[in-house]
Amino acid sequence: MPRDTSEEDLAREISEDRRLVGLGINPNLDPMEIMLALEQRMRDLKGLEESEAEASRKYREALAASKKGG
**Per-residue pLDDT tens digits for 3-59:** 557 999 889 999 999 999 998 899 999 999 999 999 999 999 999 999 999 999 999
Single pTM value for the model: 0.59
CA–CA separation, 54 and 58 (whole Å) = 6
CA distances (Å), origin 21, targets 17, 25, 39, 47, 60? 6, 5, 15, 21, 36
Structural domain includes residue 2: no
Structural domain includes residue 58: yes
Do the beta carbons of residue 17 and residue 27 sit within 8 Å?
yes
Structural domain includes residue 46: yes
Phi and psi torsions of 20, nearest 5°: -65, -45
Question: Structural domain tally of the chain?
Answer: 1
Domain range enclosing 63: 7-69
Strands (E), 1-70: none
Structural domain includes residue 1: no
